[in-house]
Structures are given as structure tokens and as C-alpha cells.
Amino acid sequence: MRNKLARFAENARRRNVVEPGKPIFSEIKGKWHEFFNNSNPIVLELGCGHGEYTVGLASLFADQNFVGVDVKGARIWKGSREAEELNLANVAFLRIRMLDLEERFTENEASSIWITFPDPRPKEKDEKRRLTSPRFMDMYRHLLRPNSCLHLKTDNLELYQYTLETLQQREDIHSLKYTDDLYQSKLYEKPQQIVTTYEKKFASRGVPIKYLRFQFN
Ligand SMILES: C[S@@+](CC[C@H](N)C(=O)[O-])C[C@H]1O[C@@H](n2cnc3c(N)ncnc32)[C@H](O)[C@@H]1O
């Protein structure tokens, strides 16, 4: 607990953490380009945990901005510290519940989304809480510029299949590509090779990593 409180206190001091209680939190919607001080594309990692994708992609693509989003401050703390240590000015972390994304981003403000190992929420009654359910997809579509790409990585076969089925019913997407064994696939390129905490855990048990991506029209 003390450790957690120390992390929260550090988050409160860090410029790259946007969270409730800071003036920037209520001002940020529609102002992310001003925050980063450039007009580069803004990429979101949803359910970022320790932020491996946010930091990893930011290291690969200096000409893009990356925002890791998660409700857990103690996890975000780790990514925000790494970004500081690596002097990555193109990284921020946003501490919110995902349902509140539209309160912090305006229409077309984002250029791409990565969803990395989201909680599978297997119970039927929890379908609408899955980060790939239709109501979340509708929200992402609103936040993303036309033709933006959404990527999903997961260990969970049921969530992967559920997401594919949901997407195949949509008429507002194109260029859907997917694999149920990413490491053996030609989709396994540099950005897909970044490894998260959950990925490490499941891959070490021999669970194949599933991946899909598509673009909204
Ligand atoms: C299974 S963990 C994956 C973390 C990280 N992406 C990884 O691969 O190691 C899921 C993460 O999503 C976050 N999360 C789940 N539901 C959320 C929600 N509705 N709003 C914000 N964060 C959420 C959790 O706090 C957790 O850090």
C-alpha cells in the first residue's frame, strides 16, 4: 500500500501523467496536439497496464505521439517512469475508465488504437464491458480519423473469436487481417514484436498470441 501511495505521489508530479486532480485533466479534450507541442498523429494504447506498447512504439516512431490509457495509477507509473528515463517527449499516460474516453478526446483526435491483452470478461452478462464490444467500437470509430487502424493483441481465444465475429457483422470497416498464432504469422512485424507483461506470462506457458487489425471506413 505504501508503495502504491508513493507511486501515486510521483504520478501527481509527473508531466507525462494526465489524471484527475490536475488542471490539464479538465483541459485536455481537443488539446492533445498542444500538449505534445506538435501536429504528429496521436496513437492510443487502451488498457496499457505498465505501458510497454506506449513506450515501445514511442521509441520506434519518434514522429508520432502515444497515449497509454488505464484506470490503474500504480501500473501507469511504471511506463511513465520509463518514458522519462528514455527522454521520450512523445509519451503520455491518461488515467481514466475507458467508458470516459470521449470526455478526454474529441472526434477525429486519434490516429490509431492498440488494445493490448484486454480483460476477456468471459461472462455473457459482461459482454458490454469487453473493450472490443460494439459499444466500445462505436466510440473508437468516433475518436479515430477516417481510415485509422485498430490493433488487438490477446492470449484469449474466446475474446479473439468474439471480436472477429463482431467485426464481421460491421459494414463500416475494411482491411481486416488476423492470425491465431502471431509468432508464426507474416503479420509479426516490428510493432507486433513488442512484448507486454501479460504477453510474457501467457507466451511462456506456450499459449499462442492472437492478433487482428482493421481500418474503419
Ligand atoms: C489484462 S491487463 C493488460 C495490461 C497490459 N496491456 C499488458 O498486456 O500487460 C488489462 C488492463 O486493462 C485495464 N482496464 C481494464 N478495464 C478497464 C477500463 N474499463 N478502463 C480502464 N482500464 C481498464 C486494467 O487496469 C489492466 O491494467
CA distance 124 to 108: 31
| Closest ligand 1 atom number to CA of residue 153 | 8
Q: Which of 63, 100, 119, 138 is catalytic?
A: 119
Please state, rounded to an integer, the average pLDDT across all residues of the chain.
Answer: 97
Q: Are 166 and 136 in contact (CB under 8 A)?
A: no
Q: Which residues pair with 114 in a beta bridge?
A: 45, 151
Whether the per-residue pLDDT at 2 is higher than 80: the answer is no
Contact 40, 65 (CB under 8 A): yes
What distance in Å separates the CA atoms of residue 32 and residue 38, rounded to the nearest whole number? 9
Number of domains composing the chain: 1
Q: What is the pLDDT of residues 136-185, one digit of tens each?
A: 999 999 999 999 999 999 999 999 999 999 999 999 999 999 999 999 99
From the CA of 118, how far away is ligand 1's center (Å)?
6
Position 1 confidence tier, pLDDT thresholds 50, 70, 90:
low
Contacts of 214 (CB under 8 A, 6+ apart): 149, 150, 167, 173, 174, 175, 176, 177
Q: Supply the residue whose CA is at minimum distance from atom 11 of ligand 1.
A: 47
Tell me, in angstroms, the distance from the centre of ligand 1 to residue 140's CA: 16
Give the Å distance between the CA of 47 and the centre of ligand 1: 3
Q: From the alpha carbon of 72, which atom of ligand 1 is closest? A: 25
For the CA of 197, the nearest atom of ligand 1: 9
CATH number, domain of 56, equals: 3.40.50.150
User: What is the per-residue pLDDT for 54?
Assistant: 98
Check if the beta carbon of residue 49 is closer than 8 Å to that of residue 198: yes
Helix axes 73-85, 2-13, angle to 10 degrees: 50
pLDDT in tens, 58-69: 999 999 999 999
Per-residue pLDDT reduced to its tens digit, 188-204: 999 999 999 999 999 99
Percent pLDDT > 70 in the chain is 99
* Mean pLDDT to the nearest integer, 83-91: 98
Examine the residue annotation and report whether 119 is marked as an active-site residue of this protein.
yes
Asked whether residue 28 carries a pLDDT value surpassing 90, the answer given is yes
Average pLDDT estimate for 85-96: 98
The rounded distance, in Å, linking the Cα atoms of 194 and 55 is 10
The pairing of beta strand 210-216 with beta strand 144-154: antiparallel
**Residues lining ligand 1, judged by CB closer than 6 Å?**
47-49, 70-72, 75, 97-98, 116-119, 196-199
CB 45 within 8 A of CB 67: yes
SS (H, E, C) 128-139: HHCCCCHHHHHH
Q: Which helix (H) or strand (E) holds 81?
A: helix 73-85
What is the extent of the structural domain holding 31? 2-216
